Amino acid sequence: MMKNKNIFVALDTNLDSALEIAFKTKNYAYGFKIGMTLFNQIGQEGLKKFDALSLPLFLDLKWMDIPSVVSKTIKTFKDFKNIEFMTVHSLSSKEMMKEAVKAAKEINDKLSICAVTVLTSTNNLEDIGIKNSSEDQVKLLVNLAKNCGVQGVISSAQNIKLIRNLVGEDFKLICPGIRDKNKEQNDQKQTLNYNEFNQLANKNTFCVIGRPIYEKGDPEANIKNIINL
């Protein structure tokens, strides 16, 4: 029997390939992650093709701009029915995160703003002028985001226990960098495999898996192998 669906399939390819992957994995995924790689090619017109699949969409565009620009940008997606998560950078400002949450609420109640904490590809925060340890920086940004009304965060699965201790079980958490059993890292530095992730996840914890599903072989067979079907 299949466990609770908690995988967002990352469609970081071109439109034709992304649609093929989506159709092959839609019975096993919670939804689809649309990031900058795909969205920059297809825009809102192309995004409608994925909205029509009637599965949750995670629009991962990581906005980091002045509050009014982010607010106006979010409102341009008001006609989409299935966007469930949008991302902003928690390193921007309190005002921007608050305005993002306000704009999302004007669209519909199921749309959640999630704040990016420390990217899973980041290995050394000192390189970008941050003196905190990765753990301390995650704590700071998670608390900041929650205090701004943000409904969830994007963070490494290695931080699940830490984040749950900070903000409880109801806060949304999306974890990139989840791999198959072989746990190939590519450019991700902070990874867990899917089985390890499930040992830590609750119903409000989701993961993002891309390349292990579509890079080699058949996407349907790959996702079924990952979730042990």
Considering only CA atoms, give the Rg of the chain: 17
Question: Count of CB atoms within 10 A of residue 187's CB?
Answer: 8
Structure tokens at 49: 């093709």
* 55 CB-near residues (< 8 Å, 6+ apart): 26, 29, 30, 31, 32, 82
| Catalytic status, residue 183 | no
Burial call 102-120: b when 16+ CB within 10 Å, e when fewer: ebbeebeeebbbbbbbbbb
Residue 211 and residue 178 in contact, taking contact as beta carbons nearer than 8 Å: no
Helix (H, G, I), strand (E, B) or coil at 151: coil
With CA atoms as reference, report the closest residue to 48 among 36, 34, 27: 34
Which runs of consecutive H residues, i.e. helices, occur in the chain?
A: 15-25, 36-51, 67-75, 94-107, 134-147, 160-167, 194-200, 211-214, 219-226
User: And the tokens for 212?
Assistant: 């292990």
Q: Which of 5, 26, 62, 94 is labelled catalytic?
A: 62
Q: Give the catalytic positions in this structure.
A: 62
